[in-house]
Structure 1
Amino acid sequence: MHILLTGGTGLIGRGLCRHWLAQGHRLTVWSRRPQQVASLCGAAVRGIGRLEELGDEPLDAVVNLAGAPIADRPWTHKRKSTLWASRITLTEQLVAWLGSRGQRPAVLISGSAVGWYGDGGERELKEDMPPVSEDFASQLCVAWEESAQRAGELGIRVVLLRTGLVLARDGGFLKRLLPPFRLGLGGPIGNGRQWMPWIHLDDEIAAIDFLLRHEEAEGPYNACAPQPVRNKAFARELGRALHRPALLPVPALVLKVALGELSGLLLGGQRAVPSRLEAAGFIFHYSDLDRALASIVGPH
């Protein structure tokens, strides 16, 4: 199978490349830095800087994960423009290019996030529910999904992947949390009651592969473990996995002053559950947070 990836040099993309190379698939990564693709994704992975470089080569699937990191810095007007262009503008360009081709892939799996729902409070969020609030992150994800859905008009099966917080050893949001937690300086954010939908990187990769292969899979899927936890419980479990106390809270006011609008991303949450994935028969390897964290920060 020939698979085209955007965002292939990111955390999830690199994991997918390892997984699919082992299965014998042919992989092409569209990247701003195509010369780095082979070293980051595998020597057998081809990097391209322009979609036109593919010419008329047949494509079986496209996985669209590109997007600038959403929580790296405050949401200034310039940063919002960057986040928008790296997701919506890029996806529009990708779909337009697919429409110009004579041969089209059977499936487009396009990234999104549980932030699509907005701050859900105590509601249990399943894929058939509408957004419950309209913050910037939600607006970004809604527009991102709408851009990808236009590929359906081309006869392409479109899967929308609403991913939670990805737990991984070599990146993701844990990379920022681990240093203070290892020093015993970690703790809950704000009041710690906000829900955190999480997923182990191995399950994220397995879910994408599952949705790629299941021809009946279409539309939105929550890619998060079956048991979301509150932020306070997450901090406690991470401290326990590291054998450190996790009692120092980060006051909400400090975050609001330091991060502005971005603070809402950390102080809000989503009690999202993977209803459609489980109904389709997907089985999570890491459904319990303690086991997931132990596999990442425990001894190897």
Structure 2
Amino acid sequence: MNILVTGGTGFIGKALLPHFNHDQVTVLTRDTTRAYQRLGHHIKVINQLIELDNLDSFDAVINLAGEPIVNKRWSEKQKQKICDSRWQITQELVNKLRAGHNPPHTFISGSAVGIYGDQKEDMFDESLQVNKDDFAHHVCQKWEDIALQAQSEQTRVCLLRTGIVLAKHGGALAKMLPAYQLGLGGPLGGGNQYFPWIHLQDMVKGILFLLKHPSAQGAFNFTAPSPVTNKQFSQTLAKVLHRPHVLSTPEWLLKMGLGESACLLLDSQRALPARLEAEGFKFCFPELEHALKETLHTVK
């Protein structure tokens, strides 16, 4: 299979690419030198889509590019960067895909559970329709709308509504570990907000599953089938690390430090992966404690 990947040097992309040993992979990246250093010279790298007239030479496109949404406060400049890094590349891919006569049969594109906004304690799946006015929803909704322009009789579109991806060397968990290892970890705000999580191995396995199942299309929640509250997540992480769990971070402090982006930690999304499971996907790590133990098994 000939596959075009964006975001190949990112957190999820780096974990995904080694699974394409028998495929021809092209990575679109702004920094070709870094891409070769991280991924190796066996992968073809391009830095502009202008090099391609269309995408007819590819069987599938996996679009994982995007500025990290949690790394900085949401200034107007940072918000624009977050939007442009998702919307522009997705629109360029769609334009190139539609420019050909024999487009890729599959277009897999990123999104996030932030599209649902704060759902409190309500349990929901992909059938939930929301109309929110917060920034996270706005980013994800337009991102998905652009990607869906690629849908046709020749091309199916799959949208990855991703939760918190658990891995030791990247993502939210890696940022949390130092405090917990020092015995300073604890719930955020009231701790009753649901944290939709997924093990990195299931994240990668799920993308490969969608790629190989032509019946799959539309939005998919990439979240484990056992969502937990932030307090439960925090308690389990402390337990796995054999550390105390006595502190907490008040909501007002999070909002003071992070501004508007604190909503990513305080909003509640009790999301279920109904459509993935309906397609026949089986999670390797459906339960949090098992997922954390496997992820952190070498942490001292």
Instruction: Report if TM-score (shorter chain) is over 0.5.
Output: yes
Aligned residue for 1:269, secondary structure, equals coil
Separation in 2 of the partners of 1:247 and 1:62?
A: 46
CA displacement, residues 112-132 of structure 1 (integer Å, 9 cap, x when unaligned): 001110111111121111126
Separation in 2 of the partners of 1:44 and 1:134?
A: 44
User: Are residues 1:35 and 2:37 paired?
Assistant: no
Q: State the identity %.
A: 45
Match of 1:210 in 2: 209
State how 1:73-222 maps to structure 2 within 5 Å: 73-131=72-130, 133-153=132-152, 155-222=154-221
The offset of 1:106, in angstroms, is 0.4
The offset of 1:155, in angstroms, is 3.4
Contact 1:119 1:133 in 2 (8 A): no
- With the length of structure 1 as denominator, give the TM-score of the two structures: 0.96
Deviates more, 1:103-112 or 1:150-159: 150-159
Separation in 2 of the partners of 1:55 and 1:141?
A: 28
Match of 1:50 among 21, 24, 48: 48
Structure 2 spans left out of the alignment, 5+ residues: none
Aligned residue for 1:217, secondary structure, equals coil
Contact 1:37 1:45 in 2 (8 A): no
Match of 1:2 in 2: 2
**Residue 218 and residue 276 in structure 1: after superposition, are their counterparts in 2 closer, same or farther (change >3 A)?**
same
Separation in 1 of the partners of 2:239 and 2:163?
A: 22
Aligned residue for 2:20, secondary structure, equals helix
Structure 1 spans left out of the alignment, 5+ residues: none
The offset of 1:54, in angstroms, is 4.3
Counterpart of 2:13, as a letter, is G
Report the aligned-residue RMSD. 1.4
Separation in 2 of the partners of 1:80 and 1:190?
A: 24
Superposed structure 1 runs of 4+ greater than 3 Å apart:
54-57
CA displacement, residues 159-179 of structure 1 (integer Å, 9 cap, x when unaligned): 011011000122111111000
Deviates more, 1:118-127 or 1:180-189: 118-127
Separation in 2 of the partners of 1:231 and 1:293?
A: 14
Aligned residue for 1:3, secondary structure, equals strand
Counterpart of 2:114, as a letter, is G
User: Are residues 1:252 and 2:245 paired?
Assistant: no
